[in-house]
Amino acid sequence: MPIALYALTVGAFGIGVTEFVIMGLLKAVGADLGVSIASAGLLVSGYALGVVIGAPLLTALTAGWNRKHTLLALMVIFILGNLACALAPGYWTLMAGRLVTALAHGTFFGVGSVTATGLVREDRKASAIAVMFTGLTVANVIGVPFGTWLGQTYGWRSTFFAVAGIGAVALVVLAVFLPSTGQRSQAGRIGDEIKGVLRGPVLVSLSLTVLGFAGVFALFTYIAPILTEVTGLPEASVSPILLVFGGGLVVGNLAGGRLADRNLGASIYGTLAALAVVLLAMTFVLSSVWLTILFVGLLGGAGFATVAPLQARVMHEAGGVGAALASSLNIAAFNLGNAIGAWTGGLAIDHGPGLSFLPLVAAVFPLLALLLAVSTRALAAPAETVRA
């Protein structure tokens, strides 16, 4: 893999930290700014909304830009957004800073995925996407725990200053090592990219992403209360177990890329089926401490094994002109799935079968994704390569 690809990984790492680290700082932020934990939690939802809005908007507006220039501009937005968060005098200015930061998220991963596939040969394109997304998974294993510790020790603002510093490093690395790759869009027109994504197979592929990750986050959003209230583990054990989940993310992400390079269509069927099986099985193991820990890791692996195949598939279906916009929309679809999954999980807890049966509820989503893929024959034609 070329060094330019790892430059994209550094940028993905910074974005991953800023997205997820807020979850470990909610109490500190709420206490400092005088808001409730529930209000502080809306900073997570606000970020997701920013990704959903920003991904198609910025990707379309920069359709004729040089890819390298686009990625560098996005990292500048990322840095400024995190500095705004660190200096925010109140809750709503912090929310605004989060929204600004989120604008860069979807387009960076969307344009970055297209750029990554252009750096490698045909039979390594999905793996290249997976390598870039490794930055996101490593952020969960290393960056988020460190950022949480930093914020708890030196104040939550120090975490955002540190993340802005990571963004500055990523900006330099991208500027030095990423080659100039020409215009993102072959025609340089927004209409061409929009036409590329308004096709049945692309919309089906985006729907598969929403359903797949809704299944992951319907359970993972509530993993802490499941571990403590259902499995009976002490609260102090939650963080170490989440490291197991993070390890599963890294392994599953890279494995999904390799599988997609061998057979893209089969890898999507296989990873969605694996996710459904893991979720169904978790329903029956939550009373066992060691089996629960094992399946937390398997959940991370199965969940992120779907990322590279789904990202590669939507790019393939959109074609060369619409690949960047479709890729960015797929990032928005991941975040939409996260929001739907968390909402559904909350309904199941408050008005449904409760925490113990949450894995069973979550399994419905990947099963629906499989049903959609089969019923529409979206993956019937073999697709071994991805057009960049």
Residues paired with residue 183 on neighbouring β-strands, in sequence order = 66
Encoding tokens for residue 209? 């992403």
Answer yes or no: do 222 and 360 share one domain.
yes
Q: What is the DSSP letter of 179?
A: P
Give 10-residue mean pLDDT values along the chain (388 residues).
80 86 77 79 78 80 80 92 94 92 84 78 76 80 80 88 92 85 52 69 87 87 81 80 84 85 84 93 91 91 87 76 74 83 81 85 93 71 43
Pick the closest to residue 369 from 213, 163, 166, 151 (CA basis): 213
**In the listed set 122, 155, 184, which residue is the last one of a domain according to the structure?**
184
**In the listed set 184, 207, 222, which residue is the last one of a domain according to the structure?**
184
The reported pLDDT for the residue numbered 382 is: 44
Pick the closest to residue 356 from 237, 219, 211 (CA basis): 219
The reported pLDDT for the residue numbered 350 is: 77
CB neighbour class for 205 (10 Å; exposed up to 12, middle 13-18, buried from 19): buried
Answer yes or no: do 279 and 294 share one domain.
yes
Answer yes or no: do 84 and 173 share one domain.
yes
The reported pLDDT for the residue numbered 193 is: 65
Those residues whose C-beta lies under 8 Å from the C-beta of residue 233, and which sit 6 or more positions away, are 227, 241, 289, 292
Answer yes or no: do 61 and 133 share one domain.
yes
Helix extents (H) in the chain = 3-20, 26-33, 37-61, 67-87, 91-117, 125-138, 144-154, 156-177, 190-197, 200-220, 223-225, 238-262, 264-282, 289-305, 307-351, 358-376
Q: By residue range, what is the domain housing residue 9?
A: 1-184
The reported pLDDT for the residue numbered 186 is: 45
Encoding tokens for residue 67? 């890819």
Residues paired with residue 66 on neighbouring β-strands, in sequence order = 183
The reported pLDDT for the residue numbered 192 is: 62
Model pLDDT for residues 239-294, shown as the tens digit of each residue? 788 788 888 888 888 888 888 888 878 888 999 999 999 999 998 998 899 999 99
Amino acid at 325: L
Task: Report yes or no: 209 and 334 within 8 Å, Cβ to Cβ.
Answer: yes
Task: Report yes or no: 292 and 225 within 8 Å, Cβ to Cβ.
Answer: no
Answer yes or no: do 236 and 381 share one domain.
yes
Gap between the Cα atoms of 111 and 101, Å rounded: 16
**In the listed set 184, 211, 228, which residue is the last one of a domain according to the structure?**
184
The reported pLDDT for the residue numbered 181 is: 61
Answer yes or no: do 227 and 295 share one domain.
yes
Pick the closest to residue 194 from 379, 37, 286, 324 (CA basis): 324
Gap between the Cα atoms of 150 and 147, Å rounded: 5
> Helix, strand or coil for residue 293?
helix
Alpha-carbon torsion angle 188, 101, 114, 324, nearest 10: -40
Q: What is the DSSP letter of 141?
A: I
Domain count, the chain: 2
Amino acid at 376: T
Answer yes or no: do 270 and 298 share one domain.
yes
Gap between the Cα atoms of 16 and 76, Å rounded: 16
Answer yes or no: do 135 and 203 share one domain.
no
CATH classification of the domain holding 358: 1.20.1250.20
The reported pLDDT for the residue numbered 355 is: 83
Answer yes or no: do 340 and 237 share one domain.
yes
The reported pLDDT for the residue numbered 378 is: 47
- What is the CA 83 to chain-centroid distance, rounded? 22
Gap between the Cα atoms of 297 and 353, Å rounded: 24
Model pLDDT for residues 107-162, shown as the tens digit of each residue? 888 788 778 877 777 777 777 877 887 887 788 778 877 887 888 788 889 999 99
Answer yes or no: do 196 and 178 share one domain.
no
Gap between the Cα atoms of 225 and 304, Å rounded: 22
Encoding tokens for residue 120? 């490698």
Those residues whose C-beta lies under 8 Å from the C-beta of residue 183, and which sit 6 or more positions away, are 64, 65, 66, 67
Answer yes or no: do 194 and 154 share one domain.
no
pTM: 0.75
Q: What is the DSSP letter of 143?
A: I
Answer yes or no: do 238 and 255 share one domain.
yes
